[in-house]
């Protein structure tokens, strides 16, 4: 697959990256501190392709970025009261939560 470099601030580039993700592709993107490489979390084939790109063992978890606490039940097996309180207090904003993966 061809690698494309697009300006992160361009709304057209963001829409293009979203389209790449929807079609099972991988996207590199800037965060506050580093660049990340990602796929849609619910596309298992794309996630499988992500592991070797990141140089990561399939036994290790990969971070899932979500937009709001409303998405937590879709990815987390159980959410303690503490997790819910942290999400309510700090989202939107930079917050990392470690939760057990929901198994479908």
pLDDT one-digit tens code per residue, 38-86:
999 889 999 999 999 999 998 898 888 888 888 888 888 888 899 889 9
Which pLDDT score, from 0 to 100, does residue 31 have? 81
Asked if residues 6 and 17 have their Cβ atoms less than 8 Å apart, the reply is yes
Q: Where are the domains of the chain?
A: 1-65, 68-104
pLDDT of 1 over the 80 cut: no
Phi, psi values for residue 64, rounded to 5°: -115, 120
Asked if residues 75 and 61 have their Cβ atoms less than 8 Å apart, the reply is no
20's CB contacts (< 8 A; 6+ apart) are 26, 27
């Amino acid at each position: 697959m061809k690698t494309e470099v697009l300006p992160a601030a361009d709304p057209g580039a963001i829409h293009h990256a979203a389209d790449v993700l929807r079609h099972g592709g991988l996207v590199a993107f800037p965060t506050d501190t580093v660049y990340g490489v990602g796929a849609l979390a619910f596309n298992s084939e794309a996630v499988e392709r992500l592991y070797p790109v990141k140089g990561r063992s399939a036994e290790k978890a990969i971070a899932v970025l979500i937009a709001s606490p409303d998405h937590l039940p879709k990815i987390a097996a159980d959410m303690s009261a503490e997790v819910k309180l942290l999400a309510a207090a700090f989202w939107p904003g930079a917050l990392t939560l470690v939760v057990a993966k929901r198994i479908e």
